[in-house]
Amino acid sequence: MTDSAVQTDEILFDRIGSAAIIRLNRPKALNSLNLAMVHAMKPAMERFVEDGEISCVILTGEGERGLCAGGDIRAIYQLGKAGDPEVARFWREEFPVNYTIARYPKPYVALMDGIVMGGGVGVASHGKHRIVTERTKLAMPETGIGYVPDVGATWLLPRARGEAGTWMGLTGEIVGAADAIYAGFADYHVPSERLAEVVQALGALGAGASDADVAAVIGKFATAPGESRLEGQRALIDRVFSFDTVEEILAALEKEEGEFAAFTRGVIAKRSPTSLKLTLRLLRAGRKSSSLGECLEREFTVASELLRNHDFYEGVRAAVIDKDRNPQWQPATLSEVTEADLDRYFLGGHQPLFADHRL
């Protein structure tokens, strides 16, 4: 790296043979992304495209706990509380990185070992070759912190099989390797102990290697991921989560028997009512959208508007600042969140918080 404006030891760029390696390097913070990291990532990826000796790009996370736990919500919380006009800058720089990954012209390989949540999904699941392991814990947990799925998740989640994405988006629950593959967030299961071999094998590919070449290499290490819980519950999930209001979904859940339905009801009951309704609207809009870019723009608009309101700050307080796990949502019930309330998050009610709500 020669550009001091994008230098940071929190993201490292390396080479193993013909493979460029992006290492997220905040292991004590579960490699959560901050502004400096996403600011450095995009120009590095552009350089890798131009370098004829690089065959593929591999994303990995330092430490033993995971690839990436998401964006640094503590920093956003602090900026928002301080009234800093740059509070949305992180998203403004992060979302274009997600878009770049989705359209990347060289093979992009994400090693989704351990925790992969929120922004971690954004830098992994838009790639062409997504590897999960027996340790993978993947989630879009935003409804639990008064936020909504972003980083292009409202493009990915509606394209999961059946209504699995709706279940994932509303509950925010962690899923394992088999569920991640079933829902379309990953492609291969490789035992974690063999990831280093995968990297070495990919690095041994010559310049100009194709996506088919990369897939063939990974395929030699891939193993069966086991049974998918979401696939096993597909009939129930599709039956219940096909409705277009959260109230109808919960009413349908009440009619279902069994442990999975009871568990799902309990989880949703703890989430922010506003976030639940916003998330469902975003997912249904994402299903009708023609591009990832359209979804990212819509997510950015809603995310920016959330910075005006109570639930995001309360959710982060309860989960990250005070860690009491007892958020007091406002409004506290679904019935108090009206369609008019939701409209203003989509620029339907008043002037936006920022002069430019577009990316």
Q: At what angle do helices 195-203 and 211-221 cross, to 10 degrees?
A: 150
Q: Cα separation of 325 and 221, whole Å? A: 40
Q: Which of 17, 66, 71, 127 is catalytic?
A: 71
Alpha helices in 234-353 (DSSP H): 234-240, 246-254, 259-269, 273-288, 292-306, 310-316, 339-343
Q: Cα separation of 294 and 301, whole Å? A: 11
Q: Which of 118, 119, 120, 293 is catalytic?
A: 119
Q: Which of 72, 113, 150, 311 is catalytic?
A: 150
Q: Please confirm, yes or no, whether 150 is among the known catalytic residues.
A: yes
The pairing of strands 11-16 and 188-189 is unpaired
Residue 208, SS3? coil
Q: Cα separation of 202 and 240, whole Å? A: 43
- Give, as one character, the DSSP assignment of residue 31: T
Q: Please confirm, yes or no, whether 142 is among the known catalytic residues.
A: yes
Q: Which of 72, 142, 179, 299 is catalytic?
A: 142
Retrieve residue 16's tokens: 């193993």
Taking a C-beta distance cutoff of 8 angstroms, is the pair 253, 263 a contact? no
Active site residues: 71, 119, 142, 150
